[in-house]
Amino acid sequence: MSQHTLFICKSCNSVHSDDVDYEKAEGAVLLNQLQDMHQEWPDRDRLEIRSAGCLWTCDHPCAAAFSGPDKATYLFTKVPTEQGAEALLQFGKLYLNSKAGNIPWKQFPETLQSAAVAKIPSIAGSSEDEEA
């Protein structure tokens, strides 16, 4: 089992209604795309993809979060379902290969540069000056 995880909010949906089919919600679509692409991804053993029932970013779907031991956590919102899966896996490669999870914004895949992002420091207290 990998120590790095990509969480995808499977209930993310830009339409808020009691009639939403959450099997077809944008988050579920993104999750399915990622799971399909992940099967052929070279680093699949290093990154686990897990669904999350809700990441509480309902006003900014779709949401995804990268987490790893002694690394910063990244929370992306407004991830587009078109090209979002590919961009998340590109970011995942950067994240896996970083020492402390410090990824310069300029290295983010172009698709994720328009997403909203939060970087949460590692609980281990990594310094901002540490090398990525």
Q: Which residue has the higher pLDDT, 124 or 104?
A: 104
Q: 126: burial class by Cβ within 10 Å (0-12, 13-18, 19+)?
A: middle
Tell me 70's DSSP state: T
- CATH code of the domain made up of 4-120: 3.40.30.10
pTM summary value: 0.87
For residue 62, whether the previous peptide bond is cis, meaning omega lies within 30 degrees of 0, is: yes
pLDDT in tens, 63-122: 999 999 999 999 999 999 889 999 999 999 999 999 999 999 999 999 999 999 999 999
Q: Half-sphere exposure of 12 toward its Cβ, with a 13 Å CA cutoff? A: 29
Domain-wise residue ranges, the chain: 4-120
Helices (H), 4-131: 26-38, 84-96, 110-113
Q: Which residue has the higher pLDDT, 59 or 121?
A: 121
